[in-house]
A and B are shown apart, each in its own frame.
Chain A
Amino acid sequence: MSAPLLQTTDLRLSFGAVVVADNINFTLHEGERLAVIGQNGAGKTTFINICSGLIRPNSGRVHFDGHDITGLAPRAIVRRGLARSFQLPQLFLEHTVRDCVRLAAAGRLGRLGLWSPLAKAVAASEIEHVLEIVGLRERGGELCEALPEGQRKLLDIAMALILNPKLLVLDEPTSGVSTEEKHGLMATIMAALDTRKVSAIFVEHDVDIVTRYATRVAAWISGQVAADGPPAEVLADPAIRKNVIGE
């Protein structure tokens, strides 16, 4: 098998007495679609936060695409090709929807000039294409703060998607999105990732979504990876069904 895209070694982090990452040794290969499942507080978001540079582990290393990225600033990690979206949408609320995506694209291209207007910094077709994927093209000219929660989520994902990452980490992409739109959204995102050959990790609670879109599932319990394997196998495990899915 090819060299791992993401690899963590003995990752440990605790907040006081609470251990949120307990010796996590984890490997992700190119092309995988990993669903991370687990109950609230199991350490799923913490794992993502460590990998994306938002928080530093107490010990252990994170390697991405052959480089040690432990302790690097988020922007340095993003530039290496690991982008993420957030559970609570992180937008520029006083900018328009289109400008948020433009800023993201300008960030990727490293175009931070003082002269050329943001509106012209990136090809319009690229911006419109990404907005189309998440279904926000019609609302491109509106301020982000006018968007309902579900659409804020979509914009958050669009801003990560336009970074053209090698690995996209989605923290609960479908929470806050209506049930009827969930599958459509996941299908479009996954299709976009397929086209660009982007690997993905997504935190998800919906078993149906996990079954349909993941090629691999990792179940988190108390800061540890309790099960890791193909969806059919992990989701059939009685211990996982009891402790993670809550049956």
Chain B
Amino acid sequence: MSKVQARMGPAAMPTPATQPASARSRPIVSPPAIAAAVLLVLALLLPVVMPWIKTPVIIAACFGIAALGVSILIRAGQMSFGHAMFSCAAGYAVAFAARRWPWLDSTVLIALGTLVGAVSGLVIGAFVVRYRAIFFGMLNLALSMVLFAVLGKFFTLTGGTDGMRLARSTFFGMDLERAGFETALLVSVVALALGLGLLVRRYLNSVAGQALSAIKTNETRLEFLGISAYRVMLTGYVLSAALCGLSGAVFAITQGLVTPEMGYWIRSGEIVFISILGGVGHPVGAFLGAAIFEFVKVFAGAYMIGASHLVLGVVLIAMVFFAPRGISGLLTGARKGGQP
């Protein structure tokens, strides 16, 4: 080696000969992608064989989208027990808008619900993302219960616990019969689920998304890298609220009815349940969790009356013991905090 070479030191280092381990030897089709494909096929084909399952599939997709939102925050180590409030707020916004302007298209109503979710997420998030752990979870829960109570009490405006009915609106400008309307909703919500899953995956791999999961392990260090943990958390919070808002809007349009129950704490708990069941390591987890949740609810409701919660409880206990990282964790076989 010449003297010159020796003196050049680290600056003249060769470029990395090998790719980082994370990028190496990835199968072309990953297990989560296969799971997503299976879910898509099932969601679109099952209703062809069993038309009655259309609504449960739409509801499952709604729950999946909401769980996708909540799982963003769980990646930061924060669990919200009140995120149904954003679905509820969006649902009511849709109901009010549909009553005031009956000519509004369903797609516009869904967009409106998402916007209401995001804006209320920004307002509430600006305050609650300063808190962590149990305080974060309970503050969200408390605020959701305030909304629940307000909607229940203002009878003249909101219809109280009876809620508000929505007339069926047009879909992409088309006036559809019930069956056609449900099919259109089904296809749209499944497409939305896929698109949003991909977008969330992109976000989780981005700098902001990776900084978000760094909050879980070392928020202090994040600050010492010049990164505002508050800003990172608020971004995640607004995204999660927007997803819950979208979910609530589709739910309201599907049911043709909104009630304060949409924002009840049990609903928030169910969304958290689905997130944990599916696992937060990969976006497909939220939809796997939602599919299982809805399947157990529908079939246990039909064949084991009153026992659906028992079945779900046993499933959760089994998951905590045998697959603490959820179904998506089993699929990715994964390293913690790895790239989804």
On A, residues with C-beta under 8 Å from B are 52, 54, 73-75, 78-79, 83-84, 86, 90-96, 98-99, 102-104, 106-108, 110-119, 121, 124-125, 128-129, 132-133, 137, 140-143, 145, 159-160, 163, 191-192, 195
Q: A129: which B residues are within 8 A, CB to CB?
A: 10-11, 13
Which one of B49-57, B100-108, B221-229, B303-311 contacts A?
A: B221-229
Among residues of B, the one whose C-beta sits closest to the C-beta of A98 is B20
CB atoms of A112 and B227 under 8 A apart: yes
A-B contact count (CB 8 A): 138
A118–B206 contact, CB under 8 A?
A: yes
Contact of B213 with A by CB under 8 A: yes
Whether A125 contacts B206 by the Cβ 8 Å rule is no
The answer to whether B216 has its CB under 8 Å from any CB of chain A is yes
Knowing A110-B226, A114-B208, A118-B207, the reply to whether A95 touches B337 (Cβ < 8 A) is yes
Tell whether, in the assembled complex, residue A121 and residue B218 are in contact, meaning their CB atoms are under 8 Å apart. Answer: no
Determine if B224 and A78 form an interchain contact, defined as CB atoms under 8 angstroms apart.
yes
Contact between A93 and B218, CB atoms less than 8 A apart: yes
- Whether the pair A117, B206 counts as a contact (CB closer than 8 A) is yes
Cβ-defined contact, A112 with B231, below 8 A: yes
12 other A-B residue contacts (CB within 8 Å) besides A95-B217, A117-B202, A140-B21? A74-B223, A75-B224, A75-B228, A79-B226, A83-B224, A91-B217, A92-B222, A94-B216, A113-B208, A117-B207, A129-B10, A132-B10
Would you call B207 and A141 a contact (CB within 8 A)? Answer: no
Contact of B221 with A91 in the complex, beta carbons under 8 Å: yes
Residues in A with CB closer than 8 Å to B156 are none
B235 at the interface (CB under 8 A from A): yes
Are the C-beta atoms of A84 and B13 separated by less than 8 Å? Answer: no
Of A79, A132, A192, chain B has the most CB atoms within 10 Å of the CB of A132
Cα of A95 to Cα of B213 in the assembled complex, Å:
9
- What are 30 inter-chain pairs, A to B, with CB distance below 8 A? A52-B224, A54-B220, A78-B224, A92-B218, A92-B222, A94-B216, A94-B336, A95-B210, A95-B217, A95-B337, A99-B210, A103-B222, A103-B227, A106-B207, A113-B208, A114-B206, A115-B206, A117-B206, A117-B207, A118-B206, A119-B22, A125-B15, A128-B13, A128-B16, A129-B11, A132-B13, A133-B10, A137-B16, A141-B20, A191-B9
Contact call A95/B226, Cβ cutoff below 8 A: no
Contact with A along B236-248 (1 / 0, CB 8 A): 0000000000000
A121 neighbours in B (Cβ, 8 Å): 207
**Residue B30 CB within 8 A of the other chain:** no
Q: How far is the CB of B241 from chain A (nearest CB, A)?
A: 15
- Considering the chains assembled together, what is the distance between the CA atoms of A118 and B208 in angstroms? 8
Minimum CB–CB distance from A29 to chain B (whole Å) comes to: 24
Q: B225, A103: Cβ atoms under 8 Å? A: yes
Interface centre among A73, A86, A94, A113 (most CB of B within 10 A): A94
- Shortest Cβ gap from A111 to chain B (Å): 6
Given contacts A93-B218, A94-B337, A117-B206, whether A108 and B213 have CB atoms under 8 Å apart is no
CA distance A106 to B232 in the complex (A): 13
Whether A75 contacts B218 by the Cβ 8 Å rule is no
| Closest partner residue, chain B, to A108 (CB atom) | B226
Q: Which of A83, A112, A142 touches B211 (beta carbons < 8 Å)? A: A112
Task: Let me know if A116 and B15 touch, CB within 8 A.
Answer: no
Is A103 a contact partner of B217 (Cβ separation < 8 A)?
Answer: no
- Is there contact, CB below 8 Å, between A90 and B218? yes
CB of B208 within 8 A of CB of A75, answer no
Q: Is B188 an interface residue (CB 8 A)?
A: no
Residues of A within 8 A of B217 (CB): 91-95
B128 in the interface (beta carbon within 8 A): no
Interface check B335, CB cutoff 8 A: yes
A75 partner residues in chain B, CB cutoff 8 A: 223-228
- Closest CB pairs A-B (n = 3): A141-B21, A94-B337, A107-B225
Q: With A74-B223, A107-B225 in contact, is A142–B206 under 8 Å at CB?
A: no
Decide if B255 is an interface residue (CB 8 Å cutoff). Answer: no
A residues near B232, Cβ cutoff 8 Å = 112
